[in-house]
């Protein structure tokens, strides 16, 4: 499950769809782990955008936080998605072994 809290960042519906498209791989990796909850919060601080993600599974074993701060919301979300994908992929590999 993915929950988006845009905070004080105004996103158009097309931008929300783009964000969810970027998160598809993260969602598939989370389904393999089972019961993954992803909470993404966005906030504008001055001229920068800060995006935070809290990830937890139903057992609590895969709980971790990610944070990215960039001048453009797309750059910060892309970096966050890359980090999430990398971390969830390594968790899936450890679970398989």
Domains in the chain, CATH or no CATH each? 2-96 (3.30.160.100)
- CA dist., res. 90 & res. 73, Å (int): 26
pLDDT in tens, 51-84: 998 888 776 665 778 888 899 989 999 999 999 8
What b/e sequence results for 23-45 when a residue is b if at least 16 CB atoms lie within 10 Å of its CB, and e otherwise? beebeebbeebeebebebbbeee
Looking at residue 36, its pLDDT comes to 84
User: What's the average model confidence in pLDDT over 5-23?
Assistant: 91
Looking at residue 12, its pLDDT comes to 92
Q: How far apart are the first and last CA of the chain?
A: 25
Looking at residue 55, its pLDDT comes to 86
Q: Where are the beta strands (DSSP E) in 1-97?
A: 2-5, 37-45, 48-56, 64-70
Average per-residue pLDDT in the chain?
86
Residue 17 has pLDDT above 90, yes or no: yes
């Amino acid at each position: 499950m993915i929950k988006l809290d845009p905070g004080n960042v105004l996103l158009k519906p097309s931008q929300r769809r783009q964000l969810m498209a970027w998160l598809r791989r993260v969602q598939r990796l989370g389904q393999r782990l089972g019961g993954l909850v992803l909470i993404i919060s966005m906030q504008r601080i001055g001229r920068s955008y800060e995006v935070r993600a809290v990830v937890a599974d139903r057992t609590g074993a895969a709980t971790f936080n990610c944070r990215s701060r960039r001048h453009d919301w797309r750059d910060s979300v892309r970096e966050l998605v890359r980090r999430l994908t990398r971390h969830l992929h390594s968790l899936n590999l450890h679970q398989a072994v």
